[in-house]
Amino acid sequence: MKISRQEKTLQGLTLFEALLYLALFSIIFVVVIEIMSTIDQSNNTAKYRAEIDRNIIFVAEHIKESFRTSESINSTDTGMILLDLADAGYYQYTDSGSTLYFDNDGIETLPITTSKVAIGTFGVQDVENKDGDVVGVRVLFDISSARDPNIFKDTEMTFMVP
């Protein structure tokens, strides 16, 4: 059997071409993984910020409703608000570590922030009228994500007794 030089030879990749294609694929793969990682990190940051915003809204509405039903402010201390009710009861908000608690006349004490956030400083300042009577409070606190403390929000709210 005679082999002719005119027969077509099989086309294949050289070692250099194979390595070049693998390198290009690897670079594209790394870029795609990096983009996916960045998107995931952005989604987590947005999720943590949304959790912070949900807690701020809930705390603001809760305190606002308490002020609406209260008769007077008994005391404001650093980290505590005590509101007197018309029926001789009280509402109390206290900062205990990283959670804000609500006490309903000693009946039950409930956390009003979730475990996904941490309350940093919780300060309360009196708001006085021109006669020096306390007519409201300014609530200042910072709230951060429990999972990523670098994601936080400083919050200031003012509530007036009706």
* Residue in this structure with the two tokens 């099989």, named with its chain if needed: 10
Which of the listed ranges 7-16, 27-36, 58-67, 106-115 does the model predict with the highest average pLDDT? 27-36
More confident site: 122 or 33: 33
pLDDT in tens, 121-158: 888 888 888 998 888 888 888 999 999 999 999 999 99
Q: Quick one: pLDDT band at residue 4, thresholds 50, 70, 90?
A: low
Q: Is residue 5 part of a domain?
A: no
Side-chain half-sphere of 98: how many Cα atoms within 13 Å? 12
pTM of structure: 0.77
Sign of CA dihedral 108, 152, 159, 77: positive
Between CA 68 and CA 83 the distance in angstroms is: 10
Q: Quick one: pLDDT band at residue 44, thresholds 50, 70, 90?
A: very high
Tell me the residue range of the domain where 125 lies: 15-160
Among candidate residues 81, 74, 63, the one with its CA nearest the CA of residue 124: 81
Q: Quick one: pLDDT band at residue 2, thresholds 50, 70, 90?
A: low
Q: Is residue 22 part of a domain?
A: yes
Average pLDDT over residues 52-76: 87
Per-residue pLDDT, 125: 84
Q: Is residue 2 part of a domain?
A: no
Q: Is residue 10 part of a domain?
A: no
**Structural domain tally of the chain?**
1
**61 pairs with which residues across the strands?**
none
